[in-house]
């Protein structure tokens, strides 16, 4: 044998042996998935999960089943052990409506998953199973309005790190959306009297599953927090107005998604009639809607919404900003937001609520803002505010004195903040009600030349302590990890105790309309009182 080859081979083997033994892999970092690991009994049968980094994962567990347009029903029990190790099907959506731009897809890293109308399934992350410990449970409701999204649409939704770092049980939910979850056929047939809100009834069924099963997953069914962002925040607000959800959750967190008003039954019923017209069907043919392919059904439903909306006065929206939404049907949702009866349903539920500084108005969504000169920025401001431009500039500069470029004043969020403040004011004014805590996420992403700023969805990776899972959005800085540690602990402590105060944050007081106490989340966190009162008054004039 050639000596050179022999020496070379020995050297390679020695290097390989040394490398393998230099940094042994921790047992807690390995994946454990076998026939004896992570087996849990549910009311429907046994499920098998897996262990990753010491956290027990279960994915795609069915919590309900349903026919199209009908309320959810109990899952048929199964025999043996059901493998629940991969995400289940998600509600069908129009994917093209979710693609914003190459840069936004780079930042958000969408995963649209496998679509199927049998989408009532959920995921669980827990530090331990069957151990008798009652941990706080946090149930995540995804964004996408009531039209799109899923439990694993974004990498930041993964619950492993939040569960591991704060000792909570995290649950995320898939449910029916768009025309499948919110088409009101109650005016056509009494058979479908609840169809306008079956998407929300799915979530109630998921919360009932949590109540009935979560103790075996290491969670406390008596300490459940619902939290969601954007459309998920709206779903939280909706659940707070649903008698059927009362008692199934005990705390609530709304991130960039305060609800304005539910669709009125007199209007949503018109959509049900209009979709039949779009498809050339009569009222007697309503059952045929069950056989219409989803793409055709959604197209007809969207056309029906437009037809009905065009008949309405231009002021105010029918189905909400993002399209499909719940209906004030008098049964599932008997009261409008802001009514005394509606406020009373979740009177005893503590609320954390807030928005991001830039939301949808960040320059990422409007490239003209990113590099606008002061002259161009002033022109754009005048187009928007007219003779009130100087007053707007003064109001914003008072809040954000460090925003020195006029272009920075173009993308301050005025879309979510007013509704959020209104909801918080209503909730905090309920006599004898539970406390409210307000926040504003102001941290600015350095990615893509700073275009992302504190854009819509940016805070999610901090709440879930998932900076490493979505570095494309928030970067990989020590400041980002430090803020994620604070925010995830604050969210988890609120879930545990109804109070978000934790070590590392200044004292976070309860919110009231009078003092407007708001925690600013940034590299330096601080509380401001009535920070944007003058701006809110300005835009309400």
**CA gap 121, 63 in Å, rounded:** 5
Using DSSP, how many helices (H) and how many strands (E) does the chain show?
A: 17, 17
Tokens of 29: 């970092």
State the helix-helix crossing angle for 417-428 and 533-540, rounded to 10 degrees. 110
> Residue 18 class from Cβ within 10 Å (0-12 exposed, 13-18 middle, 19+ buried)?
exposed
Q: Which of 153, 359, 459, 472 is catalytic?
A: 359
Tokens of 431: 């006599």
Three-state DSSP at 392 gives helix
Q: Which of 363, 407, 456, 459 is catalytic?
A: 456
The enclosing H or E element of 300 equals helix 294-311
Strand bridging mode 518-521 / 526-528:
antiparallel
Residue 85: DSSP 8-state:
B
Contact 51, 31 (CB under 8 A): yes
Q: Which of 230, 256, 445, 474 is catalytic?
A: 230
Distances from the Cα of 367 to the Cαs of 101, 361, 446, in angstroms?
11, 10, 16
175 is catalytic: no
The sign of the dihedral angle between the CA atoms of 310, 313, 319, 321 is positive
**CA gap 329, 345 in Å, rounded:** 16
What is the C-alpha end-to-end distance of the chain, expressed in Å? Answer: 91
Nearest to 394 by CA among 532, 236, 203, 219: 532
- Residue 29: which residues within 8 A CB-CB, separation 6 or more? 53
230 is catalytic: yes
Distances from the Cα of 411 to the Cαs of 358, 396, 541, in angstroms?
6, 11, 20
**CA gap 40, 46 in Å, rounded:** 6
Distances from the Cα of 421 to the Cαs of 227, 354, 484, 512, in angstroms?
18, 8, 24, 10
User: Which active-site residues does the annotation give?
Assistant: 230, 359, 456
């Amino acid at each position: 044998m050639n000596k050179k080859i022999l020496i070379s081979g020995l050297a390679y083997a020695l290097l390989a042996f040394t490398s393998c033994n230099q940094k042994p892999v921790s047992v807690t970092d390995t994946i454990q998935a076998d026939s004896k690991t992570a087996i849990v009994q549910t009311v429907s049968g046994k499920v098998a999960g897996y262990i990753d980094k010491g956290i027990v994962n279960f994915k795609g567990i069915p919590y309900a089943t349903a026919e199209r347009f009908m309320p959810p029903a109990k899952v048929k029990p199964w025999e043996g052990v059901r493998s629940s190790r991969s995400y289940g099907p998600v509600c069908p959506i129009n994917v093209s409506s979710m693609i914003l731009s190459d840069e936004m897809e780079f930042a958000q890293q969408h995963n649209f998953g496998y679509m199927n109308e049998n989408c009532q399934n959920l995921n669980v992350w827990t530090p331990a199973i069957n151990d008798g410990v009652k941990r706080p449970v946090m149930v995540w409701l995804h964004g996408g309005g009531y039209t799109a999204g899923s439990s694993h649409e974004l990498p930041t939704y993964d619950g492993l790190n939040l569960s591991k770092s704060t000792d909570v049980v995290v649950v995320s939910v898939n449910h029916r959306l768009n025309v499948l979850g919110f088409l009101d056929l109650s005016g056509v047939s009494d058979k479908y009297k609840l169809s306008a809100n079956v998407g929300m009834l799915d979530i109630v069924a998921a919360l009932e599953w949590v109540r009935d099963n979560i103790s075996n997953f290491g969670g406390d069914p008596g300490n459940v927090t619902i939290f969601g962002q954007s459309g998920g925040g709206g779903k939280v607000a909706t659940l707070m107005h649903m008698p059927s959800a009362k008692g199934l959750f005990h705390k609530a967190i709304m991130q960039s998604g305060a609800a304005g008003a539910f669709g009125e039954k007199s209007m949503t019923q018109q959509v049900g009639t209009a979709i039949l017209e779009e498809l050339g069907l009569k009222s007697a043919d309503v059952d045929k809607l069950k056989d219409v392919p989803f793409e055709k059904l959604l197209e007809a439903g969207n056309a029906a919404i437009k037809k009905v909306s065009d008949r309405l006065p231009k002021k105010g929206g029918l189905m909400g900003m993002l399209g499909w939404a719940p209906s004030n049907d008098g049964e599932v949702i008997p009261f409008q937001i802001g009514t005394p009866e509606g406020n009373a349903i979740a009177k005893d539920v503590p609320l954390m609520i807030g928005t991001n500084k830039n939301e949808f108005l960040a320059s990422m969504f409007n490239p003209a803002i990113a590099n606008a000169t002061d002259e161009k920025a002033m022109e754009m401001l005048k187009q928007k505010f007219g003779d009130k431009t100087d007053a707007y500039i003064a109001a914003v500069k008072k809040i954000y004195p460090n925003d020195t470029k006029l272009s920075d004043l173009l993308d301050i969020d005025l879309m979510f903040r007013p509704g959020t403040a209104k909801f918080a004011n209503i909730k905090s004014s309920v006599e004898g009600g539970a406390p409210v805590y307000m926040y504003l996420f102001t941290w600015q992403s350095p990615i893509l030349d700073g275009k992302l700023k504190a854009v819509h969805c940016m805070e999610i990776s901090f709440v879930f302590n998932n900076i490493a899972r979505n570095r494309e959005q928030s970067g990989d800085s020590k400041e980002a990890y430090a803020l994620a540690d604070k925010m995830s602990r604050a969210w988890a402590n609120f879930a545990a105790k109804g109070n978000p105060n934790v070590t590392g944050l200044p004292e976070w007081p309860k919110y009231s309309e009078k003092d407007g106490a708001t925690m600013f989340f940034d590299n330096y966190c601080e509380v401001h009182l009535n920070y944007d009162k003058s701006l809110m008054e300005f835009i309400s004039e």
